[in-house]
Structure 1
Amino acid sequence: MSTDDATASVSDLNFSDSSSAHTPKTQSQLSKIADRQVLPLLVVAFASYQLDRTNIASCLTGGLASDIRVSQDSINLGNLLMFAGVIALEIPSNVILHQVGARWWIGGQVLVFGVVAALQIFICDRTGFLLTRTILGLCEAGFIPGSMFTLSTWYTREEITKRIAIFFFGMFGVEGIWTVVVSILLFFLLPERARYYPCSDVEKASEVAPSGSTSHRISLTVVWSTLADFKRWPHFIATACVFATWNPLTVYTPSIYTMLGFERVPANALAAIGNFITLPVVVFFAWLSDKSRKRGLAVIIAQTVYLFSLIVLRCSQPHVGKWSKFGLWTTANGLAVGYHPIHNAWIQMNSTTPEERSIGVAMC
Structure 2
Amino acid sequence: MAIDRTNVSGVLTSTFLSDTNMTRDQANTGVSLLWLGVVLLEIPSNIVLHRIGPHYWIPLQVVTWGLIEVLQSQVTNAGGWYVARLFLGLGESGFIPGGLYTLSRWYLPGELTQRTAIYFLGPSISAAFGSLISAGALSLHLEGGLKGWQCLIPATGILAFAIVPKSPHHTGHLFSGLIRVRGWLTEHEADILVARQARIAEKNQVPGLTLKITWKDITDVMLSWSTWPYLIVCLTGLQSVNGLSTWGATIIKSLGFSSIRANLLNAPGSLLGAVFGIVLSGFVDRYSRFGYAIIFAAVWTLAGLIALYVRFVFPSSPRASTSQLQTRRRGHSTRLMWGWQPINVTWLSLNFKTPQKRAVAYAVYIGCSNLGGTYGNQVFRASDAPLYHTAWIICISLGAIWLAGVILQTIVFQWANRVFARKLDENPELEKEVVRTDKRGRRYRFYW
TM-score relative to the length of structure 2: 0.60
Give 1:193's aligned residue: none
Tell whether the 8 Å contact from 2:45 to 2:93 is kept in structure 1 after alignment: yes
Give 1:154's aligned residue: 106
1:116-131 to structure 2, matched below 5 A, reads 116-131=68-83
Task: Find out whether 1:72 has 2:72 as its counterpart.
Answer: no
Give 1:55's aligned residue: 7
Give 1:265's aligned residue: 260
Q: Which amino acid aligns with 2:309?
A: R
1:77-116 to structure 2, matched below 5 A, reads 77-116=29-68
1: distance between equivalents of 2:258 and 2:47? 46
Give 2:296's aligned residue: 301
Give 1:240's aligned residue: 235
1: distance between equivalents of 2:37 and 2:238? 15
Q: Which amino acid aligns with 1:226?
A: V
TM-score relative to the length of structure 1: 0.74
Q: Count residues in correspondence.
A: 288
Unaligned runs of 5+ in 2: 130-144, 149-193, 316-320, 366-448
Shift of 1:221: 1.9
Higher mean displacement: 151-160 or 292-301: 292-301
Shift of 1:283: 2.2
2: distance between equivalents of 1:238 and 1:269? 31
Q: Which amino acid aligns with 2:77?
A: D
Give 2:327's aligned residue: 325
2: distance between equivalents of 1:175 and 1:310? 19
Shift of 1:290: 2.6
1: distance between equivalents of 2:53 and 2:286? 34
2: distance between equivalents of 1:73 and 1:218? 40
> What does the per-residue CA deviation read over 1:252-293, in whole Å, with 9 as the maximum and x for residues that have no partner?
111111111111111111101111111232123112213332
3-state SS in 1 of match to 2:268: helix
Higher mean displacement: 101-110 or 280-289: 280-289
Cα RMSD (Å):
2.6
Q: Which amino acid aligns with 2:347?
A: W
Give 2:309's aligned residue: 314
Give 2:350's aligned residue: 349
Tell whether the 8 Å contact from 1:82 to 1:133 is kept in structure 2 after alignment: yes
> What does the per-residue CA deviation read over 1:18-72, in whole Å, with 9 as the maximum and x for residues that have no partner?
xxxxxxxxxxxxxxxxxxxxxxxxxxxxxxx111121111111112111111101
2: distance between equivalents of 1:79 and 1:222? 32
Shift of 1:176: 10
> What does the per-residue CA deviation read over 1:279-314, in whole Å, with 9 as the maximum and x for residues that have no partner?
232123112213332122212222232222222222
Q: Which amino acid aligns with 1:224?
A: T
Tell whether the 8 Å contact from 1:313 to 1:332 is kept in structure 2 after alignment: no
Distance change >3 Å, CA 174–CA 299, structure 1 → 2: closer
2: distance between equivalents of 1:271 and 1:241? 23
